[in-house]
Chains A and B, each alone.
Chain A
């Protein structure tokens, strides 16, 4: 079967969605199919440029393709009679983030028009899809609330699980992944300022924009934490990333209202590392159970500081929670062959 995976593209930006697409491609090929990834450029700023990009995706014509698996908005607006969606998330700025005032698209008539256009286009795409999978219960619930669509949950497997075998602690808390305000690495730095001097932090990953990296650097300097915080702000090859995870004492992961388990939490759990997260981190809480596999703090620096203090240095508690995290992850039995089978069923 010829399967085309359709995903967005932000030039020179690489994250979880891109990883999912290439690993799905590899899994499809391994299962005996022909597979390719079509990446469609998409920029969200300024937001009035979104409709033209939606139209251009919708105007594309696909030939010589048996199946389409589309992952994100607006890539999933592409037309194909055998289209399956595996939604990482909708364009939340037009839905719940707008309602929460966390999106630019919430003021004025044009914003209202854009939200309606996105919602209507979404629903048209959902109606024309043969099956709709989502990566988490949270996305499933949002889809039901926003668009009255019943979707099936299909959690993405871990990519390169062989790299995340765990290892001895080098005495730092690791925070990996893209750097931006929504991932709240800045909160960790602020919390670290209130912890004992023995706790160290490694933040590694590509900033979404230069200002995101600059903000972190300034924060570290202003709290005089340069000797305790390592900022490795770049795109890391998988092996380097895995090294950081495998030798951490704990892994911090506190995105705001994350849709999925999050790759950071999955990799940490696979490596047997306890998690530090916040109570509003959404899907991460599927792996982070307070005092069992993780420290689940309130989303403020003081509460996080306690978590960093408890799990920032190796202890019997951190080892126990790390082992429990690995056990929980293993029990979920998420594999690529199963995922491919469900997506093509």
Chain B
């Protein structure tokens, strides 16, 4: 099978890393792969990951057209980042295919896309979420307020998956919106991820013998990552204040950095903010960490690459008991309830600080489970099977799309379309 895969290829993209793993597995399984880089124009000149397959830019119209014509399946890796996924939005409506959905919240992606055509964006909002939501969608000035106010009511998941002929996503917590909007087959498959040279740089016993406790959070430092809560939890505990260092790795705005630094200083917490790092530095940071905090509120992702990576590295991981993290079995991570967030974080950190052996055992169990679960080979097999299913379903999907587009052109609104009276008689292609 020949697959055309739209994905970011820049080294900074975790999705690019995951899609690269899948591409390699597909090749290992005998398929042909061509990659279309999906980054926005300003980011297309960065050096791509070397997958050993042909790579095309999404804005190379003739080459992409040619590749589409010769492909058995077109796959789009879509996440909530316009800089990384613009090319998917340019091609998905013209050339529907399989969407690998990395985030259940696509508000930031939509917001940037909406800059180009606000009336069309409002029409999309109206059709999926109604006039009231559409009316206030663009009124939130601060990013945190935007996420807080739209994640539950208008996550924009439907907007993307409605254009897809099939969807693979990585957890079940947001699947209802996918099933509602995508007419094609849908599968939940664990996100593939790896831990290069996973043999730890230092052994658990060496780590336990180190002075102090290093707590790490990886990713864009914003309110959703709950760094402030971790600082407050450490600040409340004399033992943690005395023995723990909290390290943040990832992009951070200067104002946020200053705010967190001031808070840590006031509470007597040892805080280290490292900004963005390369793969080697990240690996070193993970190796040096005793505990990794993967806390998100609200839940936005279909899966967390940083949580998977931390588990693969054998680290004790603390997660928020929401979304993807809620679906991780309790024996592999420690969970924090949103309602008792800071006390829970403190309790888990103190427990892990006091029990190095238990910490190592938790990390060991997590590493074993993650290595068995988040596998590129499995993902590639599912993707190839889904491509066959999508091809079989294509006539029905095209008919569905034709009927829906015609009805919308005739002025039907969303609540009118999915009624049983309307849909029932049109199920002419069902077996």
Residues of A within 8 A of B (CB): 46, 48-49, 51-56, 58-59, 109-110, 113-114, 116-117, 119-121, 124
Contacts and interface: CB of A to CB of B under 8 A. Distances in A.
A44 to B, nearest CB: 13
B406 A58 contact: yes
B403 A49 contact: no
B403 A110 contact: no
A109 B422 contact: no
B415 A109 contact: yes
A113 B416 contact: yes
Given A46-B421, A49-B421, A55-B426, A124 B402 contact: no
A1 B215 CA distance: 83
A121 B422 contact: no
B411 interface: yes
B407 A51 contact: yes
13 contacts: A46-B421, A48-B421, A51-B416, A52-B421, A52-B426, A58-B406, A59-B399, A109-B416, A110-B415, A113-B412, A117-B411, A117-B412, A124-B409
B20 to A, nearest CB: 42
A77 B61 CA distance: 36
A51 B402 contact: no
Contacts of B415: 109-110
A79 to B, nearest CB: 11
Given A49-B421, A117-B412, A59 B402 contact: yes
Contacts of B410: 54, 116-117, 120-121, 124
Given A49-B425, A52-B425, 5 more contacts: A48-B419, A48-B421, A55-B403, A116-B412, A121-B410
Nearest to A48: B421
A80 B415 CA distance: 31
A246 to B, nearest CB: 45
A116 B421 contact: no
Contacts, number: 54
Contacts of B424: 52
B199 interface: no
Contacts of B413: 113
A60 to B, nearest CB: 12
B412 A48 contact: no
Nearest to B421: A48
Contact of B407 (A49, A53, A110, A117): A117
A9 to B, nearest CB: 16
A130 to B, nearest CB: 21
Given A59-B402, A109-B415, A51 B409 contact: no
Contacts of A124: 409-410
A59 B403 contact: yes
Interface string B388-400: 0000000000010
Contacts of B419: 48, 110
Contact of B411 (A52, A55, A120): A120
Contacts of A46: 421
Interface in B361-418: 399, 402-403, 406-407, 409-413, 415-416
A51 B411 contact: no
A61 to B, nearest CB: 12
Contacts of A116: 410-412
Given A117-B411, A120-B410, A53 B425 contact: yes
Contacts of A114: 416
A55 B412 contact: no
Interface string B266-302: 0000000000000000000000000000000000000
Contacts of B399: 59
A146 to B, nearest CB: 15
Contacts of B411: 113, 116-117, 119-120
Contacts of B403: 55, 59
| A-B pairs, 7 with minimum CB distance | A48-B421, A52-B425, A116-B411, A113-B416, A120-B410, A120-B411, A117-B410
Nearest to A53: B425
A48 B407 contact: no
B180 to A, nearest CB: 19
A334 B415 CA distance: 48
B416 A56 contact: no
Nearest to A47: B421
Nearest to B423: A52
A184 B113 CA distance: 59
A119 B412 CA distance: 11
A58 B412 CA distance: 15
B422 A52 contact: yes
A124 B410 CA distance: 8
A51 B425 CA distance: 10
